[in-house]
Amino acid sequence: MHAGQACVKLPTRQWSRLAGHAIKMPRAQRTIADPMTQLSPPSSVALGPAFAHVGNWIFDLDNTLYPSHSQLWPQVDARITLFLQEMFGIDGLSARALQKYYYQRYGTTLKGLMDEHAIDAHAFLDFAHEIDLSLLDPNPRLGKAIEALPGRKLILTNGSRRHAENVAGKLGIIGHFEEIFDIVAADFVPKPEARTYDRFLEKHGVDPKASAMFEDLAKNLVVPSALGMKTVLVLPHDHDPFREADEQAAVQAPYIDFSTTDLASFLEAIIQARATE
C-alpha cells in the first residue's frame, strides 16, 4: 500500500499521544554507566571452556555482522518511515513517531502494520530493504573466522532473506552459512518472542544447549540464554547516533555471557582457544 492508495485514519486521541515523540519501553536490565565503554578482548582461558561444547553458531544480521559505520540500518529505518508517510499520507515526524510506537508495542513496525492494517508484508519488506550497500566493505577477516568455527553456522534475522543474502554477499561471508531463518520463516513473529526461537530450533534441528547466539540487542538474548545457549552481545565500537542509547548499551545481565565490540577478534579468540584444548 503506497501513496496512491486510500489513507488509513487513526483516532485523534491516539495521534495526540504519538506525534512528535517516541514512546519508550522500560528497561528490564542494568547497564554500565558509559554504554560505549571499550571492552577488552576476551582471553582464550575464559573462552575455551565456555565454547568448547558449541557446534551451532547462530548470528543476527543487522548491526551484528556488519559495523554501524556502514550506514545500512539508518537507511532501512528511513525507508520504513517513508513507507508510513506514503501509506497514511502523514508528515515525517508523525510517521517516525508511529514507527516507534509499532516497534515498541509489536517488536517490529511490520508486525504492527500487519496486525492493525493487514498490509502486504512482502511489499513492505521489499520497500524497506531497497538500500545502498556501497559503504559496506567486504570483510575477509570475519569470513575466515566464521569459516573456521567448527560446526553449523546460521543467520537468524528479523529482516528478509533477500536482505540477508544481499548484505552477507557484499561482506563476502554468505558461503559460510548453512541457512538463513528470516522474518517470513518466523511467520512474521519477530525476536524476542519465544515462539520464533522455538520455530527456528525445530526447523533446523538445532540443540540450543550446543549453541551460541550473537546479537546486537540485549533483549533478543533473554530467550536464547533461557534455552541454554551461550550468548554474546555485539556492541558498536563507537556511539551510533542513529540508534537509541538503550539499544547500544553495554548491558550487564545474567542472560549475557560475553560482550564484544569486535566480532572478528572475538571469534578468532574462540578458534584459538579451541585449537589449544
**Do 49 and 147 fall within a single domain?**
yes
51 and 166, same domain (yes or no): yes
182-214 b/e (C-beta count within 10 Å ≥ 16 → b): bbebbebbbbbbeebbebbbeebebebeebbbb
| Number of domains within the chain | 2
Q: 229 and 152 in one domain?
A: yes
Q: Residue 14: inside a domain, yes or no?
A: no
For residues 176 and 143, state if they share a domain.
yes
Whole-number pLDDT of residue 21: 32
- Do 144 and 224 lie in a common domain? yes
> What value does the mean pLDDT take over residues 43-72?
88
- Band (65; pLDDT cuts 50, 70, 90): very high
Closest listed residue to residue 189, CA positions, set 107, 73, 83, 76: 107
Tell me which residue of 185, 169, 196 sits closest to 125, measured CA to CA. 185
Q: Do 117 and 164 have their domain in common?
A: no
| Mean pLDDT of the 162-169 span | 97
Q: Which amino acid is at 265?
A: S
Is 211 in the same domain as 107? no
Any idea what the CATH number is for the domain that residue 208 is in? 3.40.50.1000
pLDDT tier for residue 22 given thresholds of 50, 70 and 90:
very low
The range of the structural domain enclosing residue 238 comes to 40-68+138-275
Tell me, rounded to whole angstroms, the distance of Cα 76 from its chain centroid: 12
**Do 120 and 206 sit in the same domain of this protein?**
no
pLDDT digits (tens, 9 = 90+) for 202-215: 999 999 999 999 99
User: Band of the pLDDT at 17, cuts 50, 70, 90?
Assistant: very low
Q: What is the pLDDT of residue 93?
A: 96
With 80 as the cut, is the pLDDT of residue 29 above it?
A: no
**Same domain, yes or no: 220 and 154:** yes
Q: Is residue 85 part of a domain?
A: yes
Does residue 163 sit in the same domain as residue 95? no
pTM: 0.81
Q: What is the number of alpha carbons within 13 Å of residue 34 lying toward its C-beta?
A: 7
Whether residue 25 is predicted with pLDDT greater than 90 in this model: the reply is no
27: confidence class by pLDDT, cuts 50, 70, 90 = very low
In a domain, 3, yes or no: no
Domain-embedded: residue 162: yes
Average pLDDT (251-276) is 92
Say what angle helices 121-128 and 161-171 make with each other, to 10 degrees.
20
